[in-house]
Chain A
Amino acid sequence: MRHFDYARAESPQQAVAAHGSDRDAAFLAGGTTLLDLVKLDVMQPQKVIDINGVDLDTIERLDDGRLRIGAMVTNTALARDERVVEDYAVLSQALLAGASTQLRNKATTGGNIMQRVRCPYFRDGVSACNKREPGSGCAAIGGVNRTVHAVLGTSDNCIATHPSDMCVAMAAIGATVEVQGPEGTREIDFGDFHLLPGDTPAREHALEPGELITHVVLDAPLEGNRSAYLKLRDRQSYQFALASSAVIVRMDGNTIREARVAMGGVGTKPWRAPEVEAALKGKTASEALFTDAAKLAFEKATAYSQNGYKIPLGQQAIVRNLSDLTAA
């Protein structure tokens, strides 16, 4: 068996200390990404720090109205939390649209943010893949790239989507990621957390080695908001998004006072679409408005050999979600 050291942390401090700045160490949360990739020999941690004993599994409302979610809160618990269902329906729906019941019961908030790409060339351990082996190339470009590859935020070095549904909702809501590291604690804006592949696709996020996500703090909910997550895929369940949208709107009669739009399945990171939001703000809701606005999100999109359909599909995900939310 491939041997690694195993340590169980009782507190964030202990976890961070046990990890150090060791690049070959990994935190173990629900394990649904980590163990999978270890078994495939794609991730080979020398040291595993089990953080299931750290005390980070509560959700609390802060005085300023924000919602602070412990990194170890499971996807199921978060989706079912009353405050989430009430104030952030889009997040609850996004979580429940992801994976399967069994996976959601294990998967955690921190782990979900940190999940790796689903690109099969990354997972096969053999093909050229700049994420797995920097400099080796990207087999997905010109290869099989219909389902889990992006049209937005891609580079010549990597085109894999960020697979999370949860993160798309968080991108729309707005959030802050609280982390603790060897140097102390700091906060990272959710929009800055995931990185575009650019020339360094192996760098996926803003964490330094050894930093632990302790919480995600959701921005206070927009007053009187309506929100929803719409996920489009081949089969009805248990598949990553081909295209999805997280939409939050605040209406005044038929006028859109404010809209927030993010997309999944189409971008190399959870994709907020400010240009769409700006085009909607203050306008009267109509199918024509939505159609024009949605187009803006894909002005810079790049179609690859098999995934050009995501450009219209992504727009449909936005338009339909907006139509349903603004109706009645």
Chain B
Amino acid sequence: MSDKQQSIIGAGVPRIDGPDKLAGRANYAADNLPPNMAYGYGVFSTIAKGKVTRIKVDEAKRMPGVIDIFHHGHFPSLYRTPSSFVQGNKVEETRLPFEDERVYYEGQFVALVVADSFENARAAARHVEVEYASESAVANLAQGLEDNGTQAGGGHSRGDAASAFDSADTTIDVTYHTPVETHNPMEMHASVAYWDAQGNLTIYDASQGVVVERNALSKIFAIAPERITVHAPYIGSGFGSKLWTWPHAIATAAVSREVGRPVQLVVPRQQMFTTTGHRPETRQRMRLATDGNGKLVSLRHEAINTTSFTDQYVETCGSVTKSLYSCPDLTVSHATTQVNRGTPTSMRAPGAAPGLFALESAIDEMALAAGVDPVQFRLDNYAERDESQDLDFSSNHIVEATKQAAERFGWHERNPQIGSMREGREIVGYGMAACNWEALKRPCDARVSLRADGTAFASCATQDIGTGTYTIVAQAVSDVTGIPVDRITVKLGDSSYPDGPISGGSWATATTLPAIAGAARNALDELKRYATGSNGIFAEASADDLSVADGALRYDGKQASFAEVLDAARYGSADGEAHTEAADSKYSYRSFGAHFVEVRWDPGISHLRVSRVVSAIDVGKVINETTARNQVEGAVVMGIGMGLFEATEYDERNGRPVNNDYAEYVVPVHADQPEIDVILLDYPDLAFNEYGARGIGEIGITGLAAAIGNAVHHATGKRIRELPITLDKLMDDVPQAQSA
């Protein structure tokens, strides 16, 4: 390989899909307008629990343009999917839309109008009269515990944490709380579905997993997966909310078949707070203990999260706690409690994001209680191997990450005394936290063609959800073949391509690239056979004698471009496919890092802001410097949202999500973004895959909220154990309401 070829992996190649997106040529799900398309609009339940007793559709049906109105009394019968992760047909909400008259959450589909225009469908939807028998809703976690207690959700235990706690020198016992967060991707959930005369289904969906959606729909409609094509070439982000198929997509496909024409349905922003998943509310009790030397001797992390009444979703808050720190006596437990909300789902760094808020805040509290600097405390207690699985880590540079970030940040300038660092009217606080995420690699298929016109074509049924997957696939093809990126076409987001992974869990890169590289090598082998065949350009050579450089084959001082080789053999392309397997279990594969955060608290106007972030991230090999940095920066901003602003607020009297739009659900805006300095450690993890890349989408959000909370404590002396850390929680002497 030439130097140029080597450098393409890791280079900051600009996104190859960028120009199409900027020019508006990239079609998102709702941009697809097949001929004769009709529009669906939902009628959504206005109670959180109870039954639909009556639906009056007569008036609505007579309104202009209305084609049909569906509800539980008028809807085709479908089948449930077994919803198996292993079989690849998982959905989060297994109950089918319009399955019966029950209402489990506010904003549940209770009817669906199909009309000839969006406006007509919406107008008619507002004239569908629904009568309910309402029951008193279970509106939040506390009410869930009273109503139905908890359901077990797994865990991990080693040693005897309780005894170790009881006999320890220093202990803390604290409880953290995180609210529901809603993904709020910019692009609304949307589906466009149609059936051809042979009964084949095509669906354009805002999906982070076209293969799983195809498989799930195949179960739901009881037709072969080959007869379903799911398209999601571009997604306006998902953050996990588009991983699994939601009721609206199933309903759109079903009604399209009923009315015999394509149907489009866009989920309104308000219902993106109800029927397309959310990060659940959690309560996490943390009990930690140290010995006289500041060594952790007992750690218990007991987490409860809310789930729906239809499905159990476990937020694995303790997933990181098992292995980040060395501790012989440790218990992690997960449990759920049922509430009248839609089914939760993965949101960027599920489990770890709320879990590390609790763990990394508690570690800070423990360090203070033990009288040790929080950075030193971590360095003293980080695990050297994964004690939960009794395995070595494949590659772990958390010590270096912590030290580098501390250095860059200037941690040594921190005066540990609370409120001691002032600048003008502001009190400056320094805080830090570790970050951590499991590295996964799933099975994958891919195809690469080297074409007679000198271009290459790569395809895989994974997706680019805005993270840069198109670009890194092109980089991998270029790396193997030497064809420049601008002559490589990448096609993703189509279930008819070779099966690829969901875009989630930060595993798309680690999973897809080895399959792409393998397919490219197989295509090259095919090309070499053509070159050395009877009418090949190097007929005298054997395939093993040929070398590859810059999109050409070389033999004995001579060189022929791929195009010339194919031309001579009179073939249109040399094709290769490859299948790669899931990661082995020889090691514990994880990514590591540390965040350092500076906050500024102006007590005179109760103003809190994050003013500086330094993050050092160890994710193995970085494939694309630009998109990787962008993932961490974006995750840090999302972490600021989690720390300071985000919460879906439910009315505790009836379970209704109240702040259900972009104005009242507060996420950070540009003005909230501080200087963000990202250090990418870039140590290839070659035990994991041939590129040594572990993926980078999620780790950046883990630990960030804790680092903010720790900095806030340093500035104000207040330990806020309930997210988000809004200004009212930091104010003194807040007047309380006289009565309710």
Contact = CB atoms under 8 A, between A and B. Distances in A.
Contacts of A302: 738
A151 to B, nearest CB: 9
Contacts of B653: 142-143
Interface stretch (B82-90, B195-203, B599-607): B599-607
B645 A234 contact: yes
Contacts of B402: none
Contact of B605 (A235, A308, A311, A316): A316
B660 A313 contact: no
Interface string B98-124: 000000000000000000010110110
Contacts of B122: 1
Contact of B659 (A126, A139, A144, A312): A144
B-side interface mostly? loop
Interface in A194-236: 230, 232, 234-236
A308 B735 contact: yes
A91 to B, nearest CB: 21
B605 A320 contact: yes
Contacts of B607: 232
B675 interface: no
Interface string B650-663: 11010010111101
A239 B651 CA distance: 21
Contact of B656 (A124, A237, A304, A316): A124
Contacts of A316: 604-606
Interface stretch (B28-36, B664-672, B710-718): B664-672
Contact of A317 (B117, B120, B605, B644): B605
Given A120-B660, A142-B740, A235-B666, A320 B731 contact: no
Contacts of A118: 663-664
Given A1-B64, A309-B734, A238 B604 contact: no
Contacts of B650: 144
B23 interface: no
A238 B669 contact: yes
Contact of B669 (A143, A144, A235): A235
A144 B120 CA distance: 33
Contacts of B735: 301, 303, 308-309, 311-312
Given A2-B123, A234-B645, A309-B727, A239 B666 contact: yes
B651 A126 contact: no
Contacts of B609: 236
A83 interface: no
Contacts of A317: 605
B46 interface: yes
A305 B727 contact: no
A154 to B, nearest CB: 11
Contacts of A120: 658-661, 664
B467 interface: no
A25 interface: no
Contacts of A303: 735-738
Interface in A134-177: 139, 142-144, 146-148
Interface string B36-77: 000000000010000000000000000010000000000000
A237 B645 CA distance: 13
Interface residues of A, number: 41
Contacts, number: 114
A32 to B, nearest CB: 11
A319 B604 contact: yes
A127 interface: yes
Nearest to A316: B605
A311 B732 CA distance: 12
A232 B726 CA distance: 12
Nearest to B650: A144
B607 to A, nearest CB: 7
Contacts of B649: 144, 146
A123 B671 CA distance: 27
A223 B609 CA distance: 37
A88 interface: no
Contacts of A237: 669-672
Contacts of B645: 234-235
Contacts of B671: 235-237
A139 B651 contact: yes
A147 B605 contact: no
B728 interface: yes
A252 interface: no
B659 A234 contact: no
A317 B602 CA distance: 12
B146 interface: no
A305 B739 CA distance: 8
B126 interface: yes
Nearest to B671: A236
A127 B126 CA distance: 16
Contacts of A319: 604
Contacts of A1: 64, 117, 119-120, 122-123
B413 interface: no
A235 B126 contact: no
Contact of A143 (B644, B651, B663, B728): B651
Contact of B736 (A127, A142, A240, A308): A308
A111 B672 CA distance: 29
A41 interface: yes
Interface string A237-263: 111101000000000000000000000
Given A41-B126, A144-B658, A313 B669 contact: no
B731 A313 contact: yes
29 contacts: A1-B119, A118-B663, A120-B658, A124-B270, A124-B656, A124-B660, A142-B740, A144-B659, A147-B664, A148-B664, A232-B727, A234-B645, A234-B726, A235-B666, A235-B667, A236-B609, A240-B663, A301-B735, A303-B735, A304-B737, A308-B735, A309-B728, A309-B734, A312-B733, A313-B605, A313-B606, A316-B605, A317-B605, A319-B604
Nearest first, the 5 closest Cβ-Cβ pairs linking A and B are A1-B119, A236-B671, A309-B728, A308-B735, A144-B658
Given A146-B726, A235-B645, A302-B738, 15 more contacts: A1-B120, A120-B658, A120-B661, A124-B270, A146-B649, A147-B664, A234-B645, A235-B669, A237-B672, A308-B735, A309-B735, A312-B734, A312-B735, A313-B605, A313-B727
Interface of A: 1-2, 41, 118, 120-121, 123-124, 126-127, 139, 142-144, 146-148, 230, 232, 234-240, 242, 301-305, 308-309, 311-313, 316-317, 319-320
